[in-house]
Amino acid sequence: MVELSSNFLLAAFFIYISALIVYSVTLSYENKKDQSKAKKWGWIGFGLALAGFLSQLGYFITRWIAAGHPPVSNMFEYITFLGMTIIFAFLILYLIYKKSVLGLFSMPIGVVIIAYASVFPSDVSPLIPALQSYWLHIHVITTAIGQGILGIGFIAGLIYLIRVVDQSKRSKQTFWLETIVFTITCAIGISITVGIFSAVNYSVTFNWVNELDVEAQLEYDLPAIAGPYEGEFASDQNRFGPIIETPSWMNGVEAPRKFNTLLWSIFSGSLLYLTLRLILRKRVSSAIQPIVKNVSPQLFDEVSYRAILIGFPVFTLGGLIFAMIWAQVAWTRFWGWDPKEVWALITFLFYAAYLHLRLSKGWHGERLAWLLVIGFAIIMFNLLVVNLVVAGLHSYA
């Protein structure tokens, strides 16, 4: 059953790539004002995206059966589920707006998220006692759905920014837009890097004192740019590095290995980004801009707003209300200022401020689009940095 679920996920990965290609063809017809062919290819792209979503749903169900619990209990499972919720939100919005450019940007995000999830261990393992509750189903799944809808709001905001930012001159806007592109490139770079080293079965083991002050061993799947704090090779291994030690204050579960992965993300992403710049001979965001030349900024301002209007209450329900109920059941208190709880509250307050500025202050357009970029960055920080590096009650992730 586990192998079947993996095959479903792999199939979804390639179907999303096919949908991306089809949406590229669709957009070319739209730019040529050939509406009949654009409509036809748009629905083909939608059909492929739907097929990919159903394949990923098949992964989710079969893995649930194999594990005996919802597959959202570790980083691999949660990130793949988050990708599925983003695609689901796209499917709903496409049925409403029929805009192929939304698929052109959503499909790569789905592909990158699945690929990035492969960075983390994908083994099926029993739930630890803290997670053996039906609130796992309710809290975590609802939170992921909310974040997925907020994610599609970010994608619509990113399309808006690429469309309206003046790329003919250097400015703060062009710098930050290119920074977003670079960040996405880093996710692609680490996915490729992990795939390469997995293919050659690379591993190296360190002896170290873990976050519980217990002597243990830590296995790396990538060459050690950053080794464990005061760690040593477990044996005489002819391996690269480490160049630096992981700072002692990074005390999350297996933080050194995860910090090393972060450094590899930056290194591989930088290499890929510089390659693209050499090929394109311009900023990557500038090269993308002609693709969205016929996009209506006002429409995508509306799309992003509607996504936040729906995603915000769903996230609030899952990330705060259900989370506090589960905290009371598991830890006998509703709130404890755990790092994950704090950043969930920050996320809530940020999107509440977004809606306040939109509804009460009349903000529209570019300023709100930049807020959506910041909001999604907060979600990713909570998902990756807080989960992976900071110690807390949620460190099981």
* DSSP string covering 68-90: TS-S-SSHHHHHHHHHHHHHHHH
Report yes or no on 173 lying in a domain.
yes
Residue 133: predicted pLDDT: 73
Average pLDDT over residues 191-203: 83
What angle (nearest 5°) sits at the alpha carbon of residue 276, between those of residues 270 and 280?
145
Q: Is the pLDDT of residue 393 over 60?
A: no
For residues 205 and 305, membership in a common domain is answered with no
Report yes or no on 138 lying in a domain.
no
Tokens 């957009």, residue located: 27
Q: Is the pLDDT of residue 229 over 70?
A: yes
Q: Which residue range forms the structural domain that includes residue 7?
A: 1-126
Which of the listed residues 256, 282, 308 is the one where a domain comes to its end?
282
Average pLDDT over residues 54-74: 87
pLDDT in tens, 244-276: 888 877 776 777 888 888 889 899 999 999 999
In the chain, the number of structural domains is: 3
What angle (nearest 5°) sits at the alpha carbon of residue 48, between those of residues 44 and 53?
145
> Please, what is the average pLDDT of the chain?
85
Residue 129: predicted pLDDT: 67
For residues 252 and 303, membership in a common domain is answered with no
For residues 122 and 217, membership in a common domain is answered with no
Instruction: Name the least confident of 106-115, 303-312, 365-374.
Output: 106-115
Q: Is the pLDDT of residue 158 over 70?
A: yes
Residue 395: predicted pLDDT: 52
Q: Is the pLDDT of residue 369 over 80?
A: yes
Cis peptide before 242 (omega within 30 of 0): yes
Residue 320: predicted pLDDT: 87
pLDDT in tens, 28-41: 888 777 788 888 89
Which of the listed residues 282, 311, 335 is the one where a domain comes to its end?
282
For residues 119 and 262, membership in a common domain is answered with no
Residue 324: predicted pLDDT: 84
Q: Is the pLDDT of residue 126 over 80?
A: no
pLDDT in tens, 302-355: 999 999 999 999 999 988 888 888 777 766 777 777 777 888 899 999 999 999
For residues 89 and 188, membership in a common domain is answered with no
Residue 270: predicted pLDDT: 94
For 259-279, give one letter per residue: b (16+ CB within 10 A) or e: bbbbbbbeebbeebbeeeeee
Q: Is the pLDDT of residue 199 over 90?
A: no
pLDDT in tens, 4-21: 888 898 899 889 989 989
Report yes or no on 156 lying in a domain.
yes
Residue 279: predicted pLDDT: 93
Report yes or no on 268 lying in a domain.
yes
Report yes or no on 145 lying in a domain.
no
Of residues 68 and 159, which shows the higher confidence score?
159
Of residues 15 and 188, which shows the higher confidence score?
15
For residues 119 and 155, membership in a common domain is answered with no
Residue 236: predicted pLDDT: 63
pLDDT class for 66, splitting at 50, 70, 90? confident
Length, in residues, of the chain: 397
For residues 321 and 221, membership in a common domain is answered with no
Strands 232-233 and 244-245, by their bridges, are: unpaired
For residues 370 and 223, membership in a common domain is answered with no
Report yes or no on 135 lying in a domain.
no
Tokens 């992965």, residue located: 261
Amino acid (one-letter) located at 148: G
Most confident of 123-132, 166-175, 307-316: 307-316
Average pLDDT over residues 53-81: 87
For residues 79 and 183, membership in a common domain is answered with no
For residues 106 and 82, membership in a common domain is answered with yes
Which of the listed residues 254, 282, 310 is the one where a domain comes to its end?
282
What angle (nearest 5°) sits at the alpha carbon of residue 107, between those of residues 105 and 112?
100
- C-alpha distances (whole Å) from 348 to each of 78, 136, 223 are 20, 20, 38
Residue 274: predicted pLDDT: 94
Residue 219: predicted pLDDT: 84
For residues 199 and 254, membership in a common domain is answered with yes
Instruction: Name the least confident of 53-62, 141-150, 191-200, 328-337.
Output: 328-337
For residues 174 and 263, membership in a common domain is answered with yes
Average pLDDT over residues 77-95: 91
**Rounded-to-integer distance, Cα 347 and Cα 275, Å:** 35
What angle (nearest 5°) sits at the alpha carbon of residue 263, between those of residues 113 and 378?
50
Report yes or no on 288 lying in a domain.
no
Report yes or no on 22 lying in a domain.
yes
